[in-house]
Structure formats: C-alpha cells, structure tokens
Amino acid sequence: MVSGYYVLREKSEKTISYKTPRGKEVCLTREVYLRDDVPCRSLLCSRTECHQGGHCLPSDLKLYILVDGFYALYYWELFELEDIKGVIISLSSLNFVQQQASTKRPYRRICSSLEDSSQTCILFDNEFSRLCFRPPFACENLKDYTTRMNWVAAHWYTDHLESHISLVFVTDNEDYIHTFSSHGNTTPCQLTVLNLSAFLQTYYPALTAAKLLFDSLDLSLRSTKSKEHNLPDDRSLERPIESLDSYVVPSAPDVGHVYPAYLPESALVAGLRSGQFLRGVLHVSRFGPNTEATVALTDASAVKHQPELKETLAARSEIMIHGLQYRNRAVDGDVVIVRLLPRVHWKAVSSDISSQESCMAEAISNLPNMFERKPDEDCSKSLQTSSCLPCGFVVGIVSRNWRDYVCTYVPKFANDSSDPKSESGWITVTPWDRRIPHIRLHTTQISKLTRERFIVRIDSWDSYSAYPVGHFVQSLGCVGDLETEIQTILIEHNLIIRNFTDAQLNELAPLSVQRPWKVDSEEVKKRRDLRSPSISGNPNSEDILIFSIDPLGCQDVDDALSVQWLSPKIAEDGTERKRLQLGVHIADVSFFVPPGSHVDSEARRRSTSIYLADRRYDMLPGLLSGDICSLWSGCDRYAVSVFWEIDAVSFDIINIWYGRTVIRSSYKLSYELAQHIYDLVTSEDISSRSNKMEELIKKSGGLEAIRNDIPELRNLNLTECLVALNKLANSLLLLVDIASNIRKRRLAKGGLELESVEVTVQFSNQGSRTGKLEDLIHKEPLEMHNTVAELMIFANHWVARRCVEFYPDRACLRRHPPPRPEFFDEVKRCVASRGFILETNSNLSLSNSLNEAVDPSDPEVNKIVRQLVTRAMTNALYFSTGSSNMTLDQFSHYGLALNLYTHFTSPIRRYADIIVHRLLLASLGEFRSIATTQNEVTPNVVELFTALENKTDGLYSSEELSSVCNHMNEKHWAAQQVQRSSLELFQALFFKDKPVDDPSRYADGIICQLRGTNGFIAFVPRYGIRGAVCIKDASGHIAWADYATSESGTIRWLKSDQDLVVERVYSSERSDCGFLQIRNSKTKEIQQYHMFDHVYLKININETIAHGLNLRLELVGFPRTINSDNKLKQASTTTENLSTCTPNVNMSLIKNVQEIDAAKRRKRDVNDQEHFDVSKRMLLVAQLHDCSSVYHRFHRFLHQSNEECGN
C-alpha cells in the first residue's frame, strides 16, 4: 500500500568515540537519513501513520516512561515488570546498550521486550527524526550524548502528544535532573525528570517487588564496579598461536585468583582457525556437577586438525572436562572454546553410580513425541569402565547461557560475610538445578530468604571469585509449597506463565458478545456443510456422522473422525469397486487467530499448551481453546477437513479432498468408552446375533447406564438409541479396520513401534484434579489409542505432501533424523546379553530386530529393549523446507517411516499446527480469518492488523519460519520436560505420604542397564520409574541376597571386608555388556546380576531443602542365585516367601493375578486380530484395568514360582 504523502529526508552524519567494556577505543561514524514521518507509536496520537509498523502504546495509561541509556543497560529488568507499563526506549538508548554491554544478553532482553506485545514497550527511532536528531559535540562521551538525545526526545514526545499524558524521563544524569528542578517552569507541564529510585518511590511506592529488585541490582552493580577486572591483553601470547605447543596444560591462576584468565579474543580466533582450539556447548553432569562435564563439539570438522582424536571415542564429538578448575567458570549451556590436554592426562570414564545419581530416579512418561532424547544425557556413562575420552580445558567463552535460576539459601557456608543476626550482607545460595554452581549475592532480607525459593540472575564471574555473583529478582514462595514447586519447575525450563493481557482478550471481545457462540451464516456459505439438513436448513448439506475420541475429561477437543460407505464405482471390467470415505476434521483455529494479532503473538511465544500432572496451561485463551474452537458434541463448529476416498478391499487412496467445513460432532467419546463399544460388538456372543445393539445395551448395564456413558443419547427413545448405537458401532469397526491396514503398510516400510509408559496421578477429586493423592495408575494401551493415533499420523502426512507441493521453500515440516550409530552401541551390547542381534542400518532393519528380540518366558524383555532404543533416538524437530542447509532426503521422519511429515491435527495446543493450517488453506485459496470477514469490529482491532498490508498471504518467509521453528523446538522440548518433572514431583509426594513399610513402596523392577562395578539401572513398570540401584554403597557395604531365611533372596548389607568382592565380568565369546558378580572368596558362592533380571525394590524418598523431593530405589530382594558349581538355583516364590518383604497377601488375590497373567500372555501370542476370540479379549482388558496395580505388584514373582503361569 503506497502512502499518500511524500517523505522529506535529510542526510547527516554521526561520529561517536567510546570505549568498549574491555577497554578498546572505538570511533564510529554513521550516515543518518533524517525524516519527518518517524511514528510515535501511541494510540493517543490522532495521526494514523503513527500507529503503523509495530506495537503501539495504549491510550488508557496514566504516564509514559522514557528510559535513559544507563538504566536500560543495567536496570532493564525493572521495566519488564508486569505492573510497569508504557515504556519507551529510544534508538539512542538501544545503541548505547549494544555498544557498552559486555555481553549480548542486555541487548537481547530489550529486543525481546520490544517484540512482546504484552509488555507495552515500544522503540522510538529518534535518531532518524529530523526534529529529534542532534549531532554529538566534540569530546562528548557516549553516555552524555545518549542522555542529551533522550532529553530532546522527551520534549518532542510531550509536544507531539499535545500534553495529553504525563511523560517521565528516567535518567541518572544529575545535571539534567537539577536543570529540570531549577527551570521547571520552562519545561512542558507534562514532563518530569527523575532518577530511578525517585521514580519508583513517586509512582510505584507499593510495588515491593520493584523495590527489592532495584536494591539487588544496585548492590550487584556497585560490587562489580568496585573491583578491578584483570583481563589479559594480547601480550599474554608473545608468539603466534600457530607456533605454540598444542599440548599445553592450563597455567595456574594469578596470585589472589581462583581461576586462570581467559585468552584474548584474537588468540581464540587464531586457535580456532588453526584447529588447535575446539568450539562446543558445555553440558554439566547432573550426577557429578563438580567433577564431570562434556563439551559437545559444534564443528566436528575441526577434529581433523587433532591427530590424537582419530583413534579415540571422538566420533561422539565430545571432549571431557574434569573438575571445576578446567571448566574455568563456564556454566551449563555456555558455548566455550577448549584446548586438549596431553594424552597422558586423559582419564578413563567411570560408569559407576555416584551417590547423587542413586538418589535421583526419574519418571518415564508417555510424552506426545516418543522420539525424544535428553540432550544433556551423559553418553559416557554407558561406556565400559576402561573406556577413555579426550580431555581438555576451557580457554574462553563464546557466549553465556545465563538464565533465571531458582535458588534457596541454606546457611551453611563458612565464607558468608553476613552477621548471623543481621538482615543484610553477602550470602551464598544454592540453585535448584544441581548443574549450576552456588551463586553469591547481596541481600537485605536474609531471614526471609531462608524459608523461600527465589529467582536469581548471574551478573558476572571473575577469576578471583570461587562463585559467580548475581542478584535477587523475585520470590516464588515457601519451600515445599506445591505452587512454589510447580513455579520452580516452570522457571527452570524457561517457561513463563502469565495471564492473557487485556489487548489479547479485547481482540476476542466480538466473539464473546453472543453466548452461546453461533456460526455466521455468510461464512457457512463459503464452507462445505457436513451437518444434517434438519440442523443446517440446507437440503444440500451432507449429514455425515462425526464424533471425537479423546482422554476422559478433555475440554480442548482438536480433532474428530468420520467414516462412511460410498456408492460402488464400476470399474472398466464391469466389476464393482467398493469405496469408503474417511474424514479427519480439525478445529479451524487459524480462522479465529489472524497472523500478526496479539493472540497470534502470544500463541507463538508459548508455542504449546503445557500439561502437568494436576493442571494445564493453554496456548490460547479459554474462550477459544475450551469453547469456540473445541469440537464439542452437539455444537456447530468451524473445521478444516481432509477426506480420503479409499478402496474398501485394497485400502488404496482413490481421491483426496482438503477444505474448510462446518460440522456438528454427534458424540464426545472417551478412549475407554469407544474401546468398550468396540470390544462388545466384536465379541462372539454379540457379533453373531441379529439383535446386536440390544445385547450391547444389556452388556453395558441397561439403557440408563448406556445413556449415562453417552449423554448424547439421553433424549432418544429405545428405538432411536438402537439406530444411533448401530451407526456408531459400525463406524468404530470401520475406523479400526482402516487404521490397522494403514498401520501395517507403514510398519512394513520401517515404522518403529517403541515402548512408552503412561502413568497418571489419581486424586480424591478426580474431576478437578485436586485433593489427596490416592494412587499412581499405570495404563495399558488400548486399540483405540492406536487407531486414533494412526489416523492423525495419516492426516499429518498427507497435509505435509500438500504443503510441500505448493510451498516447497517455506513449508513447516517435522523431521526425525536417523540416530547416530554410536548411540546404539550400548543398546547392542545390552541385547547381546540375551543373544539378540540389533541391526541398525535402517529403520526397517531396526524394526525387524525389535520384533525378533522376544523372550517367550518374559515378555518384559521386549518392552525394555524398545525403551532402550527409544532413549537412543535423536530429537524430532520442526524446520522450514527453505533452509539452506537441508536437502530433500533430510525431510523424512525416521521413526514413522514417512518421507514427509508435519503437525496439523492439534492447532488448539500447538502453534506449529496453526502455521500448517495457514499453509494448507493458502494452497486452496481459502486463506482468510475473522479479522477480514467481520463487518463490525472495534477501531482498535482494525489498527492491530494494519501491519499485514504489505504481507498479503499472511505466511512466514523461509527465514522467519526457520526462526519460529527454532523457538517452537525449544518450547516443545521444555514443555515435555516440565510434564515429566511434574509427574516426578507428584510421584514423590505420593510416596512421601506413605509409611515406610507401606506395601505400595515395594515393586518389581527390571534391570535395563549395568553400570560400572557398583550397581545397575532398573525400571519399575508399575509406577513408570527408572533409577539407579546400588549393590555396593558409598560406605563400601555390599548387597548380599540371603536365602537362608527366605528363598526370595532378602538383601542384607555386609561390609566389604567380609570376604565379598564385586566385579564386572565380560563374555569372551560375544561383545555384550557382561554381568555384575558378587563373589564370596571364602565360600566360593557367587551371585550374578544380568541384563533383564527381575529384582525386588523399595521406593524411598530423598528430600533436600535446595533440590526438593527425589525418589531413590533400594534393592530389597533378588529371587535367584548361582552356586559354586555355576548351576542356577531358582527361588520358588510363595506366599510365605513374599511375607518377608511385604505384608501377607490374600491367596485368592494371588490366584486372580495368576489367571490374569496367563490370559495376558495368551493375548500377546495372538498376531492376527481376525483369529482371536474377541469376547475373551474384552473380558481380559476389563480385568487388567480393574486390578492393574495389584497385577503389576505381584505378577513377576508369581510367574517365576508358577511354571504353568510362566508358560
């Protein structure tokens, strides 16, 4: 759109001399083009051109705040507070921050605030305004020049807005403050000049958080300024870097310093170019944060310059950093430059379980994306004890990864300078994240901090300090409080949860006027109407049965399904070709979220909904996520649908249709209810009868019971219920049939079926997920889970094909790279211990290997193998197809065996799906949103979309999309980790409330990894917990299974001097992980722990003030032993044996578990669904769900003692 006026421009120059934080003199000359149309970006201004080009300051504020450069550099965190609004930062202040900051972090924080519409902060380009620009004076320093430019901008703003609002110029320059005080009558009446302290006291006296943050920042700044920074200069390297010996051990710190100084920038650059230095990201071990860290090299090609690495494990592209001294002040996540140590200083990697790791069991949750691997997972722990990695030391920092850290003050440090009776002084606080070092800070509220968790930010870490120096930001609440611990988890994963702002909610105001919301008749005419003619009033509407299948209690219903028979098509040979029409219907969120709107910006910032054990945080406002967009039954909703015309015999795709639709879902089913209906109608005693639906109602408990389960049937009489149930049941049968065939085809191409575990927390008030923790429920997967998942994968694949076809250079896809071969090394050794061979050349060979890794006597073996493979996978990632470093063969999804894949089916809870919806609709020529179709919208809403005038298609460019994809990947990963951490928290709370000898604390465990010579990693299926188990503790005591009093092998902890030796034994015949062996040198008796062995564990709680609650697994029983003649003696587990570890068990209960276990094994042996007795399977599923907790507690002991059950 071309403006209707001419822009006057005037060329000028700006020359600035300043000194960098490292003391370097810089003279900068810039050409400046001055204009008269620089916008003020305030809605108070009557000129419409001032509202274009970005966010605007609202008109309902009491004052605007112009921040000077010094405060923008050192105190910007104050202006990020939610209560401080209307902040203006000039281009002069922003340039000052960029040029004077020692790191890029302050500049990036300000840019992030400017991009965030919820922070009511704008940038004023004063240096391009003809009325605001002033050239610098001779010998005027940068700080004074910035203040003078802001002074001029303050006057201009006041005049420009015609004194409609007060403006406060916040500066530390006392001359300007004095000038304003002395000549107040000559300045505009709406302009005030104050320093930051006076500004807070005047306008925010009750804002305690601002006062505390200001004091903390001020103290931190003064302490930093008071100390000298001993930075080396280029003379520290008198010879060129190329001539230095590459085998250099770091020099000792200077006198009075704790760490050696970093090398100068010129030396680092030269070292990287020559290949003597390596660059990578530091990852600190969670289990040995003071001793173990690795640097993952970001440029593996540099390894070729290091001949020492070629014959080592450097194929992993990792360098070990041992100890804090060699880490040299680097923090987890920092991008560092390292130098290799001489080979004689390389150390063997210990895979023993540390004392910290033994107290940190983790949850194995059923996350939405099963193909994920923790980036900080220490691969070296899986190596054999004799393995060795290259070692190095940090010589420089490229970029810091400092973030917000949740800390706790534990007054135990002798070097705390504060008086025990004083409320102010220097203290050392402990971060919640064990990988982060202790932080020093000055505070005036010591006694208060001893009871709370609070946020700390690191300011500096000089070589003379043992710990980094930081400042207090915000209190979260009392230690141990549930809300405090939840906030801790969120902040530690960089997830900021805040309420939706007024500006965002105001965009949705027109939608909330009519309640309940109804579809617009004009919009309906532009869509394919799938409703019944009796509902739509349109005789041409299609009357398709649509329903959703979701978890019980789900409110944000993204997707719905439909399937129906089409009239047969006559083939060329005259035969009839039966056809099916499959439909996937997804909520049309993009219609209500226009690109560039406030809601869109917030959805992009959040990127995903966050699901915790007891709550969820929506990506979209509740009006959309829980109402207008949610595909509730009985409500008219907008959708984006995909229809496939499918051959009913071969299941080949005949035709496909994409488009916008109007639907009314008939049923909102839960997975359990859909499974119940499916199992009943396929059971033998119903499927063969003519009155199937009558029998279904009878088996479900009668008509009233079925109406309670399916509320949509309440207003129907018996005859109508029978008809409706028949249509629903037939649709479920067809969906399962279609999905199973699609799944078989995908698996035949190499799709992986990896093991996942779903554990949910059961509350006393399950509906609101509040109250007492009653149980941890382990859920078995249902047929309906696989059916819905497969159909969603199918839809995602076909939408990806459409997007790439029409937008090959800016489509948003999801790729899953093949795993790195070395990640499979340990898995191969593990499965080799049972005689299995894991082929990893392709996903197809891996899938075949997994299907063959079956132990008929123990079905848990295959599950554990699949879990190990899952942990070896790389991360699935969003990406732009226009990325310059991507080729077409890299677009594929390894785990799903699909060449193209994206996320399309969950736009209510994933921003990537909204992007894909826009791409799909743009390819159909249907890209429009409610902002372009509403006849009556408020003026403010119109103004919000003026920025889209030059972006006609509303789609991201390839560069923009790449940036958004990186952001979504970070948020997606963080949300998954928060979900897992939340589950771990509630698991710990569940066991904390249980007595020490409570039966629920005892569970069956399976060895899934051997670790060094002191223990193993075990998986507890009952609770979905995976953790370290020691057979030799830190004090040297060894776990010995005592069979004298019990054949179940009760564990006794004996001193190592009692003729007991623990050793790792490897096979000479095959390359496996060996086994752990405890040998009694006196009696010659040995006890061995092999991969996939079953052990009996007790779940304990480890609680610390600084790090919260953690689970710890303790070995209490081992029902097997090996005599001196190497003959295996299997313990016969009976009720009497079990009583040594747990309270007495009811015999009828044991018999019930035996019967269920035998039935479950028969179920697994059936490969083809058509040849299986469905009625018995239905009965089995119901039994397993009714007593799953008991089953998982006892079934392992029972199958070992009962040969009939085992077979």
Phi, psi (degrees; rounded to nearest 5) at 385: -60, -30
Instruction: Compute the C-alpha angle 947/953/956, nearest 5°.
Output: 80
- pLDDT for residue 16: 61
Helical packing angle, 1174-1186 and 1188-1201, nearest 10°: 110
Answer yes or no: is pLDDT of 311 > 80: no
- pLDDT for residue 1085: 87
Q: What sign does the dihedral 149-154-157-159 (CA atoms) show? A: negative
Q: Which helix (H) or strand (E) holds 671?
A: helix 671-682
How far are the Cα atoms of 703, 859, 876, 931 from residue 514, in angstroms, in the given order? 36, 56, 42, 17
Length of the chain: 1207
- pLDDT for residue 275: 84
> For residue 135, what is the DSSP state?
P
C-beta atoms surrounding 813 within 10 Å: 24
Q: Which long-range contacts (CB under 8 A, 24 or more apart) does 1043-1047 make?
A: 1043/1121, 1043/1131, 1045/1140, 1046/1137, 1046/1140, 1047/1119, 1047/1131, 1047/1132, 1047/1133, 1047/1134, 1047/1137
More reliable by pLDDT, 1000 or 1157: 1000
Residues 886-913: what's their mean pLDDT? 94
C-beta atoms surrounding 208 within 10 Å: 10
- pLDDT for residue 778: 84
Q: What sign does the dihedral 637-640-645-649 (CA atoms) show? A: negative
Residues 48-65: what's their mean pLDDT? 84
Residue type, 1018: A
Answer yes or no: is pLDDT of 31 > 80: no
Alpha helices in 856-910 (DSSP H): 860-871
Residues 246-266: what's their mean pLDDT? 75
Residues 711-733: what's their mean pLDDT? 93
Residue type, 611: Y
- Assign 299 a pLDDT band (cuts: 50, 70, 90): confident
- Assign 919 a pLDDT band (cuts: 50, 70, 90): very high
- Each residue's pLDDT tens digit, 926-955: 877 775 554 433 334 333 333 333 344 679
- C-alpha to C-alpha distance for 1144 and 1135, rounded to whole angstroms: 7
Phi, psi (degrees; rounded to nearest 5) at 476: -100, -25
- pLDDT for residue 34: 85
- pLDDT for residue 4: 34
Which of 40-49, 360-369, 653-662 shows the lowest mean pLDDT across its residues?
Answer: 360-369
Peptide bond into 516 cis (omega under 30): yes
Instruction: Compute the C-alpha angle 973/976/979, nearest 5°.
Output: 150
Alpha helices in 885-957 (DSSP H): 911-923, 930-933, 939-944
More reliable by pLDDT, 1143 or 701: 701
Percent of the chain with pLDDT over 90: 51
Average pLDDT, the chain: 82
Q: What sign does the dihedral 220-223-225-229 (CA atoms) show? A: negative
Please tell me the pTM assigned to this model. 0.85
More reliable by pLDDT, 605 or 190: 605
Percent of the chain with pLDDT over 70: 81
Which residues 6+ apart lie within 8 Å of 1192 measured at CB? 778, 1003, 1004, 1021, 1022
Answer yes or no: is pLDDT of 445 > 70: yes
- Assign 308 a pLDDT band (cuts: 50, 70, 90): low
Which of 735, 727, 733, 539 has the alpha carbon at shortest distance from 644? Answer: 735
- pLDDT for residue 1161: 43
- pLDDT for residue 300: 62
- pLDDT for residue 256: 74
The two structure tokens encoding residue 869: 């493979």
- pLDDT for residue 365: 61
DSSP string of 403-460, one letter each residue: -EEEEE-----TT--S-TT-S-EEEEEEESSTTSPPEEEEES-HHHHTTEEEEEEEEE
Residue type, 607: S
Which of 734, 495, 517 has the alpha carbon at shortest distance from 616? Answer: 495
- C-alpha to C-alpha distance for 1094 and 1073, rounded to whole angstroms: 17
Which residues 6+ apart lie within 8 Å of 400 measured at CB? 103, 105, 331, 334
- Each residue's pLDDT tens digit, 538-562: 998 999 999 999 998 888 999 999 9
Instruction: Compute the C-alpha angle 522/524/528, nearest 5°.
Output: 145
- Each residue's pLDDT tens digit, 557-578: 999 999 999 998 887 777 888 9
Residues 277-291: what's their mean pLDDT? 92
- Assign 309 a pLDDT band (cuts: 50, 70, 90): low
Helical packing angle, 671-682 and 1174-1186, nearest 10°: 150
Q: How far is CA 755 from the centre of its chain?
A: 20
- Each residue's pLDDT tens digit, 962-983: 999 999 999 999 999 999 999 9
- Each residue's pLDDT tens digit, 820-865: 888 898 899 999 988 899 999 999 999 999 999 999 988 899 999 9
Answer yes or no: is pLDDT of 455 > 90: yes
Give Rg (Cα) of the chain: 33
How far are the Cα atoms of 272, 813, 889 from residue 810, in angstroms, in the given order? 34, 9, 16
Residues 159-181: what's their mean pLDDT? 87
**Whether the Cβ atoms of residue 1094 and residue 1196 lie closer than 8 Å to each other:** yes
Phi, psi (degrees; rounded to nearest 5) at 97: -65, -45
DSSP, collapsed to helix, strand or coil, labels residue 74 as: helix
| Residue 1035: exposure state from Cβ atoms within 10 A (0-12, 13-18, ≥19) | exposed
More reliable by pLDDT, 1134 or 521: 521
* Bridge-based pairing state of the strands 528-529 and 166-170: unpaired
- pLDDT for residue 577: 86
- pLDDT for residue 479: 93
- Assign 247 a pLDDT band (cuts: 50, 70, 90): very low
Answer yes or no: is pLDDT of 381 > 70: no
- Each residue's pLDDT tens digit, 1063-1100: 999 877 778 888 999 998 888 888 999 999 999 999 99
Which of 160-164, 643-647, 760-764, 1156-1160 shows the lowest mean pLDDT across its residues?
Answer: 1156-1160
Phi, psi (degrees; rounded to nearest 5) at 1197: -65, -35
Phi, psi (degrees; rounded to nearest 5) at 657: -135, 135
Answer yes or no: is pLDDT of 235 > 60: no
Q: Which helix (H) or strand (E) holds 798?
A: helix 783-806
- pLDDT for residue 387: 61
- pLDDT for residue 937: 39
**Whether the Cβ atoms of residue 917 and residue 590 lie closer than 8 Å to each other:** yes
DSSP string of 943-1010, one letter each residue: HHTGGGTT-TT-PPPHHHHHHHHHHHHHHHHHHHHHHHHHHHHHHHHHHHTS-TT-GGGEEEEEEEEE
The two structure tokens encoding residue 183: 């000549």
- pLDDT for residue 1132: 32
- pLDDT for residue 243: 37
**Whether the Cβ atoms of residue 306 and residue 279 lie closer than 8 Å to each other:** no
Which residues 6+ apart lie within 8 Å of 929 measured at CB? 590, 591, 592, 593, 594, 595, 954
- Assign 359 a pLDDT band (cuts: 50, 70, 90): confident
Which residues 6+ apart lie within 8 Å of 655 measured at CB? 644, 645
- Please measure the distance between the N-terminal and C-terminal CA atoms of the chain and give it in whole angstroms: 77
- C-alpha to C-alpha distance for 272 and 285, rounded to whole angstroms: 26
The two structure tokens encoding residue 864: 């554990």
- pLDDT for residue 797: 98
- pLDDT for residue 298: 85
Answer yes or no: is pLDDT of 890 > 80: yes
Residues 129-158: what's their mean pLDDT? 90
How far are the Cα atoms of 300, 491, 975, 1090 from residue 406, in angstroms, in the given order? 34, 7, 18, 40
> For residue 220, what is the DSSP state?
H
More reliable by pLDDT, 418 or 422: 422
- pLDDT for residue 828: 92
Cross-strand partners of 1051 = 1041
